[in-house]
Amino acid sequence: MKHIITLLRPHQYIKNLFIFAPLLFSFHFSVGSLFSTVIAFVLFCLVASSIYVLNDLMDIEEDKKHPSKKNRPLASGAVNKATAQKLIVSLSGIAFLFSFIFDLKLFAVLVLYFTLNVLYSFKLKHIAIVDIFIISTGFVLRLFAGALVTDTPLSMWIIIITFLLAIFLSLAKRRDDVLLSIAGKETRKNIDGYNLEFVNASMVLMAGVVIVSYLQYTVSPEVLERLNTHNLYLTTFFVVLGIFRYMQITFVEEQSGSPTKIVLKDRFLQITIVLWIASFIGVISFA
């Protein structure tokens, strides 16, 4: 059971917190909307776990060559392929069934997310640049899941920021693969499409674009009118701080292999995120 839980990667569920973003950015909370968002979060976690299992199933041979991924349940042999296949069918099946009953729009998003990631697992993850764009699209679909079940309109800026931030994080993860390749431990077929210079330049570019996009969001007329405040730009301080900290982890500490684990373990980043959320809520509340 321990190995099966590890295979499901519950620590990765932190990514699904993006489902709650529409509620936060709209600042429109209610018991009903929160309940619907929690349901969407749980069902998305089930589908995501089915994809993680599928991905590990497809990557067994590559993971065996990786210094840390070789210890994953399938690569190490702790869980057999038959069990993995059953998990994929049962997890995705439960999620599709309940989402179909609960909300057809959520069902459509989950099916799209699942289909896109199946294509990613079988082919698209081996195509440089396309791979990080598919991952980033998954984050945007999380936004739509949260927005659709609560009938919350999404600002174009939130979609843009989420997509660009996801590209930034994906590039940081690819940088770790490039470093392994340089060390003679190549583990991915698409790694030939990246090198250190390209990834470093792309990350710096995306960091700047994310910051500018967020700043544009905080001063956009629609946001000023909807949230009734002209001070939201002050929260940019923590966005810049968080971006710089992540770049420090990536370029100085060279520990960007798992964005999820970084967020779960790095105290500096955790405090920055909490302060950003607090400042965001505070600025709107006291407007």
Place of tokens 């990536």: 250
pLDDT of residue 186: 59
The CA–CA distances, whole Å, from 128 to 78, 170, 200 equal 31, 11, 15
Q: How many domains does the chain have?
A: 2
Q: Examine the domain organization and report whether 281 and 177 are in the same domain.
A: yes
Select from 50, 123, 117 the least CA-distant residue to 87: 50
Q: Report the number of secondary-structure helices (H) and strands (E) in the chain.
A: 14, 0
pLDDT of residue 24: 82
SS3 category, 257: coil
28 or 171, higher pLDDT:
171
Place of tokens 């007329």: 221
Place of tokens 């993680």: 52
SS3 category, 209: helix
pLDDT in tens, 105-131: 999 999 999 999 999 988 888 888 999
Q: Examine the domain organization and report whether 247 and 150 are in the same domain.
A: no
pLDDT of residue 189: 63
Average pLDDT, the chain: 89
Identity (one letter) of the amino acid at 171?
Answer: L
pLDDT of residue 182: 81
Q: Examine the domain organization and report whether 178 and 143 are in the same domain.
A: no
CA distance linking residue 39 with residue 37, whole number of Å: 5
Give the residue from 120, 154, 188 where a domain finishes. Answer: 154
Q: Examine the domain organization and report whether 77 and 33 are in the same domain.
A: yes
Question: What is the end-to-end Cα distance of the chain in Å, rounded?
Answer: 50
Q: Examine the domain organization and report whether 18 and 150 are in the same domain.
A: yes
CATH of the domain at 45: 1.10.357.140
Give the residue from 101, 121, 154 where a domain finishes. Answer: 154
Q: Examine the domain organization and report whether 133 and 265 are in the same domain.
A: no
Give the residue from 103, 138, 154 where a domain finishes. Answer: 154
Q: Examine the domain organization and report whether 179 and 265 are in the same domain.
A: yes
Q: Examine the domain organization and report whether 67 and 178 are in the same domain.
A: no
Which domain range does residue 215 map to? 156-287
The enclosing H or E element of 219 equals helix 196-219
Point out the least confidently predicted range of 67-81, 88-102, 152-166, 242-256: 67-81
Select from 229, 217, 244, 219 the least CA-distant residue to 284: 229
